[in-house]
Every structure is written in structure tokens, then in C-alpha cells.
Amino acid sequence: MKMDHNDEMSMEKMHHDHQMDMSEHDMDMGGGHMMHMGNLKRKFWVSLVLTLPIILMSPMMGIQLPFQLTFQPWSDYLVAILGTVLFVYGGQPFFSGAKAELQNKKPAMMTLISMGIGVAYVYSIYAVIANNLLNVTPAVTDFFWELATLIDIMLLGHWIEMNTVMNAGSAVDNLAKLLPSRAHKLVDGTVQDVGVDQLAHGDHLQVRAGEKIPADGVLVSGATSVNEAMVTGEARLVEKHVHDQVVGGAVNGDGTFEMQVTGTGEDGYLAQVMKLVSDAQAAKSAQENMADRVAGLLFYAALTVAIVAFIVWALVGSLAAALSIAVTVLVIACPHALGLAIPLVVARSTAIAASHGLLIRNRDAMERVKDLNYALMDKTGTLTAGNFKVAAYQSTSDQLTADQVLTIMAGLESGSSHPLAVGILAAAKAHGLTAAQASNVQQLTGVGLGGQVDGQDYQIVSAAYLDQHGLTYDHATFDELAAAGNSLSYLLAGQTVLGFVAQGDQIKPEAKHLIDSLLAQNVTPVMLTGDNQQSAQVVARQLGIQDVHASLLPEDKAKLVQHYQQAGQHVMMIGDGVNDAPSLAQADIGVAIGSGTDVAIDSADIVLVKSNPNDVVDFLALARKTTRKMSQNLWWGAGYNVITIPLAAGILAPVGFLLNPMFGAVVMSLSTIIVAINAMTLRLGK
């Protein structure tokens, strides 16, 4: 990008910061704390190996087997050593996550887990000392079995969850790839190849045919057509003349031009998009998910009940009994089932989504579907195919037939990659016509295309050119075809209009069903496009979209998303281009078309692998069913705690019932099995 040294350092810092963010976002451990996937997998397996001897040598659910008594006290000491290693090594991600949650003053899952394993470890070490060195009677029950299994289950749950949704792509990395590494800098009339990091404001550059434009700037000489599809998402070439602006990352057409760099560092178009994407992703990551909210409530509930129980039992009983009951409350509050409730549903949901052409990159997006109000979507590539097709071609002169008009235009366009040219060539082939042999074909600045066929000079021009030169053509036909969303190209010989070809971007067959489905679900569809208002309205009318915003820049789309959000609305954004990336990241739910740019895909929460708009309907249905399963599992997981925490605190002690930790462990295991079975029953259906 166009930078002086200071701006280069600024961009390097932005990129480095983003890479740090992305590396930390490999695995969400709660409270914004992230962990790398490889580390998580290794921690799980090491922790599992450490758990096996602990399970063999420590009381299971309060029951001590005969062979365990044989090796005491050495088995107790060995379990204490292994438990310490497991507590420090396997528990580290949870402690880091809890620290982040507490710093944000939002205790959630990581804090609840840390509290449970922390209390279990400290009390278990006390139990080993009390039973083997102090000979306390009655013997103090340790919780090493519960400690080890909780750490393993929590690590496994997060591993399952992240393994299903992990994607290593970086939107910022893909933005950087849009720029070439070198530029042709003009110095005293000579061309010097320099790195784009050496460019500064006011530099003059030469951009040759077919090259990527290395920086934002203004044309100072020459003319060309620029393919901005990778930047704007609009699949057509844009004519550029002197004083016109060009964007770094766009691809130059057939012409060679000179330009002056107008921006450096963070002033550049792609740098601004990069910042919009990063800011929006950071803001979205701060949102809490359902499991964290439930875990936060359980944390406060368990802590409150444990303190109250300790005080009450210290007053009516002994200090030892009060401590034992308080610890039991905190250990029972450990969210074994809660830790698997969401990951198992996510794993099942992700597998179903994949079979239906959906890639879920952010599972939190599925929870937001229930509140969805608006679906904002890009036009080109989302609702339309992005491929121009000939809708009509006619002869307007006795000199040529309609087929001859098409073959001559196909011959002139045969060397061009312009989307309109591709459409003309495809139409000729579809009608069994052979493109005419053309010679001396060249771009005509401010006109269109010119060349010779059989010694006759021809030009392909627009209606605007005909109007400017006072040439006669059928305005009624033009208005009719243009109103249908077509672009018209005219074949000209001298001052005579010989015929025309009308072609337009085709609406995807599935787009109408998508709009109808959204309306049926009380979700308002809104079209956002960088295209002109006339073309946008044509598509909107055919699809039944009432709200249309046209001629938008990338920042305009993101601002519109923010506008709806600030009004209290929940927004889904569907798009495919770099210009959609900020709005995809900003929206409550970002859905990228799979055939779109890597930048758009990496900014989105959901990717439509088959680029079928109808898959949005499947996503909404799956999301609602997934959220329902999550809620059911959370009720099962939290319901265990709701019942057992008061019992462990001794609420029924006056009638002679005090919850045994063994019974609590059995109920915990049963709850875990229930949430696993419930997750497996998730289906999308037809």
C-alpha cells in the first residue's frame, strides 16, 4: 500500500496486532481469553493420561475400593502429586479465562470452572494432610476424582466445539494479498521498480495492462478500463480517464496509464476496510453467549449459597462440618454437564450444516437468529449471478441481419475479458454463430471499442455516445430494455446505427424464494449495492424488496448496519465482496456467499458453500432448532445444579437429609448423559 516509512510502520503494527488477535482467537476459553487449538488438544491428552492413575487410586464418587486401602498412604501422596500437576497444567486455560472474565467484571463459565477445581484441589490437599499426617477423624473426603474428570470434560468440550468451527483464515491477511508487492515508479522520466512499502503521497506510477493497481490514486494520463470486482463486488469493468480515481487492489484492463498516489498508510481504501473489519470483529466478540450467561448466574448462586451455608452450619454445628458442606456446594456446582451441553449441540449442528452447504464459523451467530429483524444483502453475486447474459439483440438497419450484428460484435469483443464481452461471446456460441474475424481492434477513449471486419470499420458504443453525437436510435426500445435492468451496446458503422445487444445480470433462481421466506418469518429484506439506483430497483421490484440503498461505498454499508443496530434492530448481512467485509463483520449475523472473496468469507459468521441464497433459509431453520437444543441442554445442565446445590447446602437437614457427595456425582454423570443424547437428536428435516 502506498506508504512512507512512518505509515509503513503504522500498517505493520496494525497487521501485527490483528495477527495477535487472530492467533488468540483460535479457541474461546471465555471472557475473551483464547487458546491455540494445538495446545488445547495436547492439554486434553496429557490431562487424560494423568487422570487414569488418579481414577484408579482415589475414591470414585466417595467410594473407596479395597485395593486402594492397601497402598495408603503412598497412593494418597501419589494422587496428590498427579492431581497437582493436572491442576496446574490442565487447569491453566481456565484460570487464564477466569482472570479475563473477572477483569471484565463478567464472571462466566471459566470463573465457575476455576472456582470448582480450585476449591476441589485445595480441599483435597487438605484431606490428604488431615487423613495421613494429622489422623483427623472422621476421615476427610477428597475430591481428586471430581477434579480430574471435570478438567478432562471441560477440555474435551471446548476441543469438540472449536474443532467444528475453527477456520484459520484471516480477513486482514487476504486484504493484504490484494495488493501487488512491486510498483513502477516514474522518476525523472524513467521507470523504477520499487516495493509498494516505499510509495508516498504524490508519487507518479505507471500501471501496465493486466496489472494490479498498487495504490489509491488519480489518473494523470492515459485511459483504461479497471476491473474492481475484487474490491467492490460488482462484476464489470469501469472506464477510467484522466482525473478519475482508482483503488489499490483493482486490476487494470488493456490500457496503460499513469497515476499519482493520493493516500498512504491508513488513508488507503483497503487499509480503511481493514480497520472497519477489525473494529467490527472486536466489537462482536465482546457479546456474551447463552452458556456464559447461565454459568455467570450459577457462579453467583453457588458462591452465595456456599457462604450462607458455611455461616449457618458454623453457628449450629462445627467449623469442620461447615467447611465440608461449603466445599461440597462449590464442587457440586462444577458444570460437568454444562460444559458439554453447548459443544455437543454445536458439533451436531455443524455436521448437519456442512451436509446442507453451510460452513459455521461463529456458533454464537446461531443464537442471534431468534432476535433477527432485518436481512441486509448485496445485489451482485448474492441476489444476482454476477454474469451478464444477452437478453435481446436486434438489427436496426437493412444492411445487416440480427445474427450478423451479433457475430460482428462477438468478433470485436473476442479479445476482451469484460463481462459484457463475455456475455456477447456466450450468446453467439449459444445461437451457433461463429464470431467474425476482426482486425485492428482497440479501445477508443471515451467511445468504446473499434475495429475492422471484412475491411469495414465498426464501433461498439453506448447510448450515451449516441446521444452526445446526435445519432438516431429507437429511444422507446432503449427505455423498455433499460427499465428491465439491461445494459445496451450499439454497433456503429460511420454515422449509422446498425443494431444493438441488450444484456443484464441475471437474478438467481433461488433469490425469490429467499425473499419470500424472510418476509414469512417477519424478517425485512433490504438491498445494499454499489450499483446505480435504476438497476437496483429493477431487481428489487422483481424480488419484492421494498427497501433499497444504492451507490454505496463499503463504509456506507457498515454505517447502515450500525444505523439499524443503534435503532435496536438485529441485523443479518449477506454479501460476497471486499466491500461487504466491514458490514459482514459488523452485523449481528454475517453470511458470506462461498463464491465471494476470501476477505468476505473470513469476515463472516456463516459461509454458503454452494453460493445458493436458499441456503440462508436452511441456516435460519437450523439455527432456531440448534438454539432450542442449546436451551434444553442448558436447562438439563443447570437444572442439576439448581437441585443439588440447595441439597448440598443442607436445606433438608431439618428432616434428616443431607446430600452425599457420591449421590451428587451420580446425578452429575446422569445429567451429562442426558445432554449428550439430546444433542444427538438434533435434525434439520426437509
Which residues are part of the catalytic machinery? 378
Q: What is the 3-state secondary structure (H, E, C) of 620-646?
A: HHHHHHHHHHHHHHHHHHHHHHHHHHH
Give the integer Cα–Cα distance in Å for 597 and 276: 17
**Whether 531 contacts 579, CB under 8 Å:** no
Could you give the angle at the alpha carbon of 82 between the alpha carbons of 77 and 83, nearest 5°? Answer: 90
**Whether 595 contacts 387, CB under 8 Å:** no
User: How many CB atoms sit inside 10 A of residue 23's CB?
Assistant: 13
**Whether 570 contacts 553, CB under 8 Å:** no
Q: What is the DSSP string of 234-245?
A: --SEEEE-TT-E
**Whether 497 contacts 472, CB under 8 Å:** yes
Give the integer Cα–Cα distance in Å for 236 and 530: 12
Which is nearest to 420 in space by CA: 470, 378, 462?
462
Give the list of residues 6+ apart from residue 610 with CB closer than 8 angstroms, or none. Answer: 357, 594
For 189-205, b/e burial (b = at least 16 CB within 10 A) is eeeeebebbbbbbebeb
Give the integer Cα–Cα distance in Å for 57 and 52: 9
Grid cell, residue 501, equals 445487444
Give the integer Cα–Cα distance in Å for 669 and 662: 11
